Protein backbone atom coordinates (compact mmCIF):
# COMPACT_ATOMS: atom_id res chain seq x y z
CA UNK A 1 0.00 0.00 0.00
CA UNK A 2 2.90 2.35 0.72
CA UNK A 3 4.20 1.88 -2.81
CA UNK A 4 0.93 3.26 -4.22
CA UNK A 5 1.47 6.70 -2.66
CA UNK A 6 2.85 9.25 -5.03
CA UNK A 7 5.82 11.43 -4.24
CA UNK A 8 3.53 14.43 -4.56
CA UNK A 9 1.32 13.26 -1.69
CA UNK A 10 4.31 12.55 0.52
CA UNK A 11 5.81 15.99 -0.17
CA UNK A 12 2.44 17.66 0.37
CA UNK A 13 1.95 16.01 3.77
CA UNK A 14 5.51 16.81 4.89
CA UNK A 15 5.31 20.45 3.77
CA UNK A 16 1.87 20.80 5.39
CA UNK A 17 3.28 19.41 8.65
CA UNK A 18 6.21 21.84 8.49
CA UNK A 19 3.98 24.84 7.77
CA UNK A 20 1.42 24.02 10.47
CA UNK A 21 4.13 23.18 13.00
CA UNK A 22 6.07 26.37 12.27
CA UNK A 23 2.95 28.48 12.59
CA UNK A 24 2.10 26.84 15.91
CA UNK A 25 5.66 27.42 17.09
CA UNK A 26 5.47 31.11 16.25
CA UNK A 27 2.08 31.42 17.97
CA UNK A 28 3.23 29.58 21.09
CA UNK A 29 6.45 31.59 21.15
CA UNK A 30 4.47 34.83 21.02
CA UNK A 31 2.38 33.78 24.02
CA UNK A 32 5.35 32.84 26.20
CA UNK A 33 7.32 35.43 28.19
CA UNK A 34 10.79 36.32 26.94
CA UNK A 35 13.35 33.70 27.87
CA UNK A 36 14.71 30.34 26.88
CA UNK A 37 11.28 28.78 26.28
CA UNK A 38 10.31 31.49 23.80
CA UNK A 39 13.61 31.11 21.97
CA UNK A 40 13.15 27.34 21.84
CA UNK A 41 9.85 27.75 19.98
CA UNK A 42 10.76 30.66 17.70
CA UNK A 43 14.45 30.23 16.89
CA UNK A 44 15.82 27.88 14.32
CA UNK A 45 17.98 27.75 11.22
CA UNK A 46 17.00 29.63 8.09
CA UNK A 47 17.78 27.69 4.92
CA UNK A 48 17.62 29.11 1.41
CA UNK A 49 18.30 32.24 -0.59
CA UNK A 50 18.13 35.41 1.49
CA UNK A 51 18.28 37.59 -1.62
CA UNK A 52 16.18 36.63 -4.64
CA UNK A 53 18.08 35.53 -7.74
CA UNK A 54 17.03 37.03 -11.08
CA UNK A 55 17.56 35.32 -14.43
CA UNK A 56 17.35 37.89 -17.24
CA UNK A 57 17.12 36.44 -20.76
CA UNK A 58 16.36 39.83 -22.43
CA UNK A 59 12.91 38.68 -23.51
CA UNK A 60 12.01 37.06 -20.17
CA UNK A 61 13.03 37.88 -16.62
CA UNK A 62 12.44 35.31 -13.88
CA UNK A 63 13.07 35.83 -10.17
CA UNK A 64 13.69 32.87 -7.89
CA UNK A 65 13.61 32.93 -4.12
CA UNK A 66 13.13 30.33 -1.43
CA UNK A 67 13.62 30.71 2.30
CA UNK A 68 12.77 27.98 4.78
CA UNK A 69 12.66 28.81 8.49
CA UNK A 70 12.60 25.70 10.65
CA UNK A 71 11.88 25.61 14.39
CA UNK A 72 11.42 22.83 16.94
CA UNK A 73 7.65 22.70 16.60
CA UNK A 74 8.02 22.63 12.80
CA UNK A 75 10.15 19.50 13.06
CA UNK A 76 7.56 18.04 15.43
CA UNK A 77 4.91 18.87 12.81
CA UNK A 78 6.87 16.92 10.20
CA UNK A 79 7.07 13.91 12.52
CA UNK A 80 3.32 14.05 13.23
CA UNK A 81 2.59 14.43 9.51
CA UNK A 82 4.77 11.40 8.73
CA UNK A 83 2.90 9.35 11.34
CA UNK A 84 -0.44 10.45 9.88
CA UNK A 85 0.75 9.54 6.38
CA UNK A 86 1.83 6.15 7.64
CA UNK A 87 -1.67 5.51 9.03
CA UNK A 88 -3.32 6.42 5.69
**pLDDT tens per residue, range 15-47:** 888 888 888 887 877 787 887 877 777 777 888
State the SS3 of 18-70: HHHHHHHHHHHHHHCCCCHHHHHHHCCCEEECCCCEEEECCCCEEEECCEEEC
For 40-82, how does the pLDDT look when each residue is reduced to its tens digit (9 = 90+)? 777 778 888 888 889 999 999 999 888 877 788 888 888 888 8
Q: What is the pLDDT of residue 51?
A: 85
What pTM value is reported for the model?
Answer: 0.62
Amino acid sequence: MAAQRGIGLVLLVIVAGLVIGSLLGELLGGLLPAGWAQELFTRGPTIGLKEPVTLDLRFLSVTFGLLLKVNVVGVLGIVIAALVLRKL
